[in-house]
A and B are shown apart, each in its own frame.
Chain A
Amino acid sequence: MLAEHDFQKKADALFEDLKKRLLNLGDEHDFDVEGESGKLEVIFEEPEPARFVISPNTPIREIWVSALSTSFKLAWSEPRNAFILEKTGEDLYGVMSRVISQHLGTQVTV
């Protein structure tokens, strides 16, 4: 398991990059992004109101994504050097691409 400081550092860097990518996509696909490294929220008004929450779960060193009534839990993978959803092998960008695409009904790549 990652040391807490190491997890925090990796999560902060990931959240910063994710926020930048989401802000760019939000302009194009009409959704809002709020929050900082402690929690990011993706807010949709269309095609129906929805809120996706991405947050670090420090005690168990996971990144959790709450979206589409589902909780996606990503754990650190040393070989991949990324937080990974074990069942699919997707990283955080892959999971976010999938859930945003499913909500909007169009292909979005984070």
Chain B
Amino acid sequence: MKYFLTALFVALLVSPLAAISQTPSANDIVAPTAFASNEPVARGMAIQVAVVLKIRPGFHINAREVTYEYLIPTDLRINVPAGFKFESVIYPKGTIKTFPFSKDKGLNVYTDTVILRLPLTVLKDAPLGPQHIAMKLRYQACNDEACFPPKTRDVEVTLTVVAAAAEAKSANPELFPKK
């Protein structure tokens, strides 16, 4: 019953968007951009794609592991093209924060900048040339008072596949520093 009432409370928070009419749209709250660890990439290589989510100050999105089942977790789906192997997205841990609408228990959220990582293997038979990795990012953005309805955004990165490993190059070192 308690969870039902809490879910109802959150649902009510989602609907009166008039309360946050002065705020930007859910599209403007999160800016997702994808970067690859290598460009070009060679057949047989293990690479990573980082999807950087820049979250507008004053807002948050639910983390992957949500505090309550009824909250919408951040979710990244990948449309794996032929010639690539993908296992699972690596999500960072969130931060526990309390809000006026959730004083009893902190919520696990992402704020500021979040980096999701996708390990990919370029198979030996991957088609040569530019290959598009299309992704769908789903999130629910909130501020301290209310939440927006969940949003799904398209994210894409292009990888150029080459045959020879010697032609592959590291890219975006700020996102893929080596220990």
Contact = CB atoms under 8 A, between A and B. Distances in A.
Interface in A9-65: 48
Interface in B75-103: 93, 95
A72 B115 CA distance: 16
A63 to B, nearest CB: 13
B113 A68 contact: no
B2 interface: no
Given A70-B178, A88-B113, A107-B93, 13 more contacts: A70-B173, A70-B177, A71-B173, A72-B174, A87-B52, A87-B175, A88-B52, A88-B54, A88-B174, A89-B54, A89-B112, A99-B177, A102-B177
A68 B112 contact: no
Given A89-B52, A89-B54, A102 B179 contact: yes
Contacts of A91: 112
30 contacts: A67-B177, A68-B177, A68-B178, A68-B179, A69-B173, A70-B173, A70-B174, A70-B178, A71-B173, A72-B174, A85-B174, A87-B174, A87-B175, A88-B52, A88-B54, A88-B113, A88-B115, A88-B174, A88-B175, A89-B31, A89-B52, A89-B54, A89-B112, A90-B112, A91-B112, A94-B112, A98-B115, A102-B179, A103-B179, A107-B93
Instruction: Tell me the dominant secondary structure on chain B's binding face.
Output: loop
Interface of B: 31, 35, 52, 54, 57, 93, 95, 112-113, 115, 172-175, 177-179
Contacts of B52: 87-89
A92 to B, nearest CB: 12
B177 A87 contact: no
Nearest to A107: B93
Contacts of B54: 88-89
Nearest to A65: B174
Contacts of B172: 87
Max chain A C-beta neighbours (<10 A), residue from B52, B57, B93, B177: B177
Given A88-B52, A89-B52, A90-B113, A69 B177 contact: yes
Given A87-B35, A87-B52, A89-B52, A94 B177 contact: no
Given A87-B35, A88-B52, A94 B113 contact: yes
Contacts of B35: 87
Contacts of B178: 68-70
A54 to B, nearest CB: 14
